[in-house]
Amino acid sequence: MKLKGEVAKRLTIRLDAAAWGVVEAVARQLGITPAEVIRGGVHTLSDRLPPGWRERATAPPPGLVAELRALRLEVRRIGVNVNQSVRALHQRGAGADASVLSQQMAEIEAQLDELSGEVSARVCHDGG
């Protein structure tokens, strides 16, 4: 069943005596190898799976999607803070209180570092 240009993958499986007996009997009856019986079973199964099974199998966990949306909202809020600080700097010109702006930028940087740590921890924890 290998298609031209397709890379073959090797899989080692363990079967109990009953399952091996079925595979062996089918292989003997059809005059094919046990590996062909297994490949045929996989092919048959793929035709019987419900629509959308591939998408569901690769979709991220539902909780992760909600958490990423919440993190996106936090990043957006941080961006709003940055824009407000820059706007204040431009409005005040040279007379702007540099220490206040510096403090705000330090707070924003700390928030971004914290957020980055949360995202990294979540991605590593969920296998992504």
> pLDDT digits over 34-81, tens only?
999 998 888 888 778 878 777 777 777 777 777 778 888 888 888 888
Q: What pTM did the predictor assign?
A: 0.38
Question: Cα(85)–Cα(83) distance, rounded to whole angstroms?
Answer: 5
SS3 annotation, the chain:
CCCCCCCCCCCCCCCCHHHHHHHHHHHHHHCCCHHHHHHHHHHHHHHHCCCCHHHHHHCCCHHHHHHHHHHHHHHHHHHHHHHHHHHHHHHHHHHCCHHHHHHHHHHHHHHHHHHHHHHHHHHHHCCC
Confidence of residue 128 (pLDDT cuts 50, 70, 90): very low
What integer pLDDT is reported at residue 36 of this predicted model? 92
Residues in contact with 121: Cβ distance below 8 Å, sequence separation at least 6, in sequence order = none
pLDDT tens for 12-23 read: 899 999 999 999
Q: What value does the mean pLDDT take over residues 91-118?
A: 75
Distance (Å, rounded) from C-alpha 111 to C-alpha 117? 10
Between 27 and 116, whose confidence is greater?
A: 27
